[in-house]
Structure 1
Amino acid sequence: MLVLICIYYLLCGVCCQESSVHILTEAVSQAYLQEEEIPVLRNCEELRIFGVRSTDNSTFCVDPDGEYYGIDSFQVECEKATDNSTLTGKVIITPTSNLSVYISGYEDIEFVHQVDYAISMDKIVDLLKSSVECQQYMKYVCHHAMMGVWLSRDGERMNNYGAPAGYDGCMCGVLGNCAYVGKRCNCDSNDAYLRTDDGFVDDRSTLPVTALLFKDTGSHNEYGTSTIGSFTCTGTYVDWNWSTIHEGVCLVDHVLAVFNTHSRSQCMLLCRRELLCRSVNVKKNHDNGALTCELNLRRLRNVLESKIVYDTYCTNIEPILESDLP
């Protein structure tokens, strides 16, 4: 039977704010239920898996590299499902600059459609690293104006306008249905018709978009309108290919589930199958040597010292996340 616990503060590090949030008890351990507390999670997908619900709020705190480690927690918008109370798992970061701008009078000098965000770039990159897929929509409506380029988060000029990474052109070029045969963008037709090029860019190594640059709008009949969409991410990424083993250490009060196990490898496999598992405790029975596997919601680096127990019969194993890497 589901029990809904109403809490009035989402406890998440430096960005706690009052909200109306409920959690589903089937998704969490008794430790969290007794404390009536939602743990700090990495992204909207983990909030969805955890069972966070809200009827009047879509802004939540996340910490992609984990609590008490790296970059501080921050607020993001989580997309609501059609029932308006559950979450889809998608994070939405909408630019704070003009989403759509009209461009005219720039022939040889590029017009810069600047794209700014309320969240700092290091936090956006951390969020991106914790996700599986990210993308951003862009559209250019043109009249007698050639296609431009966009700038990556590092300021690199990118030619794949709304198209897959590495492609020099637009989606009509990828699909082979541009207005003119041989062109890779509709706008490169450069004719007296309103043309449109649009699509999504999804290369996690270059997102988000920081600017769009256009020219060839110097004459009275040359103009265009540039539109940029929200930056969105879905999924939650964990790589167990590389792990850190902490001998003689275990976590407490962060346990999701407990199993009997015959090896560390089996315990790690169980953790891989549980989307919210972030580390395991492998405990050896003092009397008969039997092994117990505890799946944890936290990593060692993301807990307070009071939540760590030192015991020679304990081993904690955690994955190295992409956000840990330089």
Structure 2
Amino acid sequence: ADVISFDGLGVISYRFRSKKIKIVKDLISLKFRTTAGAGVLLHGEGQQGDYISLELRRARLQLSLNLGSDQCGSIQGHTSVTSGSLLDDDHWHSVVIERYRRNVNFTLDHHTQQFRTNGEFDHLDLDHEISFGGHPVSAKPSSGGVDNFVGCMEGITYNGDNITNLVRRKKVDTSSFRNLTFSCAEANSFSVFFNSTSFLRLPGQTDSDTLSVSLSFRTWNPNGLLMFTALADGWVEVGLTEGKVTVYMNVTQKKNMRIDISSGSGLNDGQWHSVHLNALENYAMLTVDGDEASTVRTAIPIQIQTGGTYHFGGNVLHGNTRSLQRSFQGCMQMIHIDDHLADLRAVEQGLIGTFENVSLDMCAIIDRCVPNYCEHDGRCSQTWDTFSCNCSGTGYTGATCHTSMYQQSCEEYQHQGKSSGSFWIDPDGSGSIAPFRVHCDMTEGKVWTMLKNNLSPQTSVTSSEQEGKAVLQITYNVTDEQLLSVSSSAEYCEQYVGYACRMSRLLNTPDGAPYTWWVGRANERHSYWGGSGPGIQKCSCGIEHNCTDAKHYCNCDADLRSWREDSGLLVYKDHLPVSQVVVGDTSRAGSEAKLTVGPLKCQGDWSFWNAASFSSPASSLRFPSFRGETSTDISFYFKTSSTRGVFLENLGTTSFLHIELRGVCVCLFV
């Protein structure tokens, strides 16, 4: 069989033919099966900081890549993508990693994520080897932090090489394996799945002065009964309360003395957690997840006398005492009573214990947050029955963080009666572009959207930085995508540029190479200045024929020792905003220049101005039938003196959409 079993110690080391390789294209595939929530499936790294790693973390699969970071830290290449959930289910899962330069397809169980790695490098530089099942023995200590893989793999291929076949032929290093086997043994775990009406009853020792119970569980619910047992004189209950393991002990011999202890937090995260309760005559000890350092101990001045029957999962009525907890919904395994592992296969065969509405030898828990239906980075949380989205800090609201909290433009804020000020806008509504803050100027009869940049007015440019030129980067407090969303929806945009000079030429002649140029949208270089236009290597004075020297088309090109200035508005909005200015004539003795780049200002919202008037009952606009798949957004403003009317009607093949005004205060949606 094409299967290799990994015991947590063995690692397959596939060594390259050369000590170092530069890889521009990768194709890696494998299948894995495990009951462990953490472990390294593959790892490779290079001395220059490049690496590739595929790991299980909290039962999710994480692919980490770094094609290179520069020594100054300005280029960070680390990229990490996570896929899947509850992958420690002892089922086979398939993985395919396809990379060409920075473009990566990461496929888990036929679900593909496409992404580009961070940084600017294309090659993966690896040294010596790539390992499967853990970090190689030769790896640096900093590579650690995650356990080796425990489970089975099959179909391991790396860039055309069948790794499993090479292992069989002893062509790769497997010296770290204690016992290399080509089979996948059945897991020792035997799970029990509980719903809200389930219970499992198991026998234990009677009249013992020691109570010892341990188990592993996983659930999404913060509350639920794990175990209940009646003592000869009282009872003991172990449960989840707000994500913590709690133990309640009630002994009637001491006038209903009640003892409560708890440990852990956030244990309703869907991961496997272990709990061990040990109670003797003088003390009780509660350990969660095997962490002895956080074990809770408490004195109990009572005598334990076990009753011999243990209830798991369901509500229990014992005499006049009912469990305080609701029923447990989730999975349990590795149940120990009196330090003996319960034989759940014998329970399944009806030989010991009793049960009702449980599913044996399976864990049917599902993750309702994978895929994550919370949009715009909303945080998903879940219970057994449903999921919910926490939208705080996202700028969106609604059940799935879909609806923007902000208006789409400054025009809409003015329509609401707002005055000039700073506002958050969301030009694409519920789309992928995040909301951002702009200044809205509503004082001149027009509404201007303003985006400021990092350059102070009259910034001195007195020294050359590279190749005899000074390069000034112009940055804004928004992304390029957000900038484009403002300018593309505007009717008109402008940006002021000013160049004050003393013996510092600006554009040279219309036919010569310009000394200074600026870079705009799409990283295109432009050699016209404010007050002029594309294709004309002139300043505003050259257009208006009033330059200091009539032989030149910019005041600064006269190269005078006295201060002059060329300034004006750039108004070709498809070139805006200015992202860089390269100044090329400041290295001569006595040369000085001061640069000003004003904010990007845009006016007119095409989306908001896109209005239609319906002057008679027969007026209408007709479009092809709308197909919205599983979700869609419809929004509009209206103004009318009528009390009735149909706004929108859509006739689909199987669905119907109708919105109308019915009365002064009623909008009907069907």
Smaller-chain TM-score bracket: 0.5 to 0.7
Structure-2 change in CA distance of 1:61 and 1:258 (3 Å)? farther
Q: How does 1:100-119 map to 2 (within 5 A)?
A: 100-106=458-464, 109-119=468-478
- Taking a change above 3 Å as real, the CA distance of residues 109 and 278 of structure 1, as seen in their structure-2 partners, is farther
- Counterpart-to-counterpart distance in 1, 2:393 and 2:424: 8
For 2:411 and 2:392, the matched residues in 1 are separated by 16
Specify whether residues 70 and 108 from structure 1 end up closer, same or farther in structure 2 by C-alpha distance, changes over 3 A only.
closer
Matches within 5 A, 1:243-262: 261-262=617-618
Q: Which of 570, 574, 578 is the matching residue for 1:201?
A: 570
The structural deviation recorded for 1:68 is 1.5
- Give the aligned residue type for 1:63: D
> Aligned partners of 2:458, 2:436: CA distance in 1, in Å?
27
In structure 1, the partner of 2:412 is 46
**CA shift in 2, pair 1:39/1:262, >3 Å:** farther
Moved more, 143-152 or 214-223: 214-223
Please tell me whether residue 124 in structure 1 is matched to residue 124 in structure 2: no
For the structure 1 residues 79 and 312, does the alpha-carbon distance in structure 2 shift closer, same or farther, using more than 3 Å as the test? closer
Q: Which residue of 1 aligns with 2:394?
A: 14
- Select the structure with the greater relative contact order (CA < 8 A; seq sep ≥ 6): 1
**1:265-276 residue pairs with structure 2 within 5 A?**
265=621
- Change over 3 Å in CA distance of 1:13–1:142 after alignment to 2: same
Verify: 1:294 aligned to 2:647, yes or no.
yes
Give the match for residue 264 of structure 1.
620
CA distance in structure 2 between the partners assigned to 1:240 and 1:52 by the alignment? 18
1:42–1:127 Cα contact (<8 Å) kept: no
- Secondary structure of the equivalent of 1:172? helix
Question: Structure 1: how far apart are the matches of 2:405 and 2:532?
Answer: 36
In the TM superposition, what is the alpha-carbon distance from 1:39 to its structure 2 partner? 6.8
**8 Å contact from structure 2 (residues 409, 427) kept in 1:** yes
Cα pair distance change 1:189/1:142, threshold 3 Å: same
Q: Secondary structure of 1:226's match?
A: strand
Q: Which residue of 2 aligns with 1:155?
A: 523
- In 2, the alpha carbon distance for the partners of 1:196 and 1:97 equals 18
| Alpha-carbon shift at residue 134 of structure 1 (Å) | 0.9
3-state DSSP class of the match of 1:205? Answer: helix
Which residue number corresponds to residue 30 of structure 1?
Answer: none
| Separation in structure 1 between the aligned mates of residue 504 and residue 600 of structure 2, nearest angstrom | 26
**1:313 CA displacement:** 6.2
| Distance in 2 between residues matched to 1:12 and 1:47, nearest whole Å | 23
Tell me if the contact between 1:13 and 1:73 (Cα under 8 Å) persists in the aligned partners.
no
- Take 2:427 and 2:472, find their aligned partners in 1: how far apart are those partners? 29
Q: Secondary structure at the match of 2:589?
A: coil
Instruction: Tell me the percent identity.
Output: 23
The offset of 1:95, in angstroms, is 0.5
**How do residues 223-242 of structure 1 correspond to structure 2 at under 5 angstroms?**
223-238=592-607
Quote the Cα distance in structure 1 between the aligned partners of 2:452 and 2:392: 22
For 1:262 and 1:13, how far apart are their aligned partners in 2?
46
User: Does structure 2 conserve the Cα–Cα contact (< 8 Å) formed by 1:15 and 1:74?
Assistant: no
State the SS of the aligned residue for 1:126: helix
Matched, 1:96 2:458: no
Q: Alpha-carbon deviation of 1:311?
A: 2.7
Cα pair 1:113 1:212 within 8 Å, conserved:
yes
C-alpha displacement of 1:266: 9.1
- Contact kept, 8 Å, 1:47 with 1:89, in 2: the verdict is no
Say if 1:264 and 1:192 are closer, same or farther in 2 by CA, change over 3 A. Answer: same
Amino acid at match of 2:416: F
**Superposed CA offset, 1:21-76 (max 9, x none):** xxxxxxxxxxxxxxxxx97322112211232247xxx22121112x2123122221
The offset of 1:240, in angstroms, is: 9.9
Q: Contact between 1:101 and 1:113, CA under 8 Å: does it hold in 2?
A: no
Cα RMSD (Å): 3.9
- With the length of structure 2 as denominator, give the TM-score of the two structures: 0.31
Q: Tell me whether 225-234 or 41-50 shows the greater mean CA deviation.
A: 41-50
Q: Which secondary structure does the structure 1 equivalent of 2:414 belong to?
A: helix
- Cα contact 1:131–1:233 (8 A) shared by 2: yes
Number of residue pairs matched? 233
SS of the residue aligned with 1:128? helix
Which residue does the alignment assign to 1:72? Answer: 434
- Deviation of 1:161 (Å): 0.9
Question: What is the TM-score normalised by the length of structure 1?
Answer: 0.61
Aligned match of 2:120: none
Cα 1:145–1:111 change in 2 (3 A) is same
- Larger % of helix: which? 1
SS of the equivalent of 1:193 reads: coil
Give the aligned residue type for 1:42: Q
SS of equivalent residue, structure 2 residue 573: coil
Q: CA, structure 1 residues 50+39, in 2 after alignment: closer, same or farther (shift >3 Å)?
A: farther
CA apart distance, 1:155: 2.1
Q: Which residue of 2 aligns with 1:173?
A: 542
State the 1:160 CA deviation: 1.4
Letter in 2 for 1:111: A
Q: Equivalent of 1:60, from 414, 423, 437?
A: 423
Superposition deviation, residue 278 in structure 1? 6.0
In structure 1, what is the equivalent of residue 496 of structure 2?
137
Residue-by-residue CA offset, 1:217-254 (whole Å, 9 max, x unaligned) = 2222111111111111111114999xxxxxxxxxxxxx
* Mapped partners of 1:266, 1:146: distance in 2: 58
2: CA distance between counterparts of 1:233 and 1:171? 21
Whole-Å separation in 1 of the counterparts to 2:617 and 2:432: 33
Residues 93-116 of structure 1: per-residue CA shift (max 9 Å, x gap) = 111244432122339521012211
Q: Which has the higher strand share?
A: 2
Stretches of structure 1 that go unaligned for 5 or more consecutive residues are 1-10, 17-37, 242-256, 268-276, 282-290, 301-309, 316-326
Residue identity matched to 2:518: W
Structure 2 match to 1:34: none
SS at 2:575's partner residue? Answer: coil
Aligned equivalents of 1:239 and 1:233: distance in 2?
A: 14
Q: CA deviation at 1:259?
A: 7.5
Residue type at the aligned position of 1:180:
D
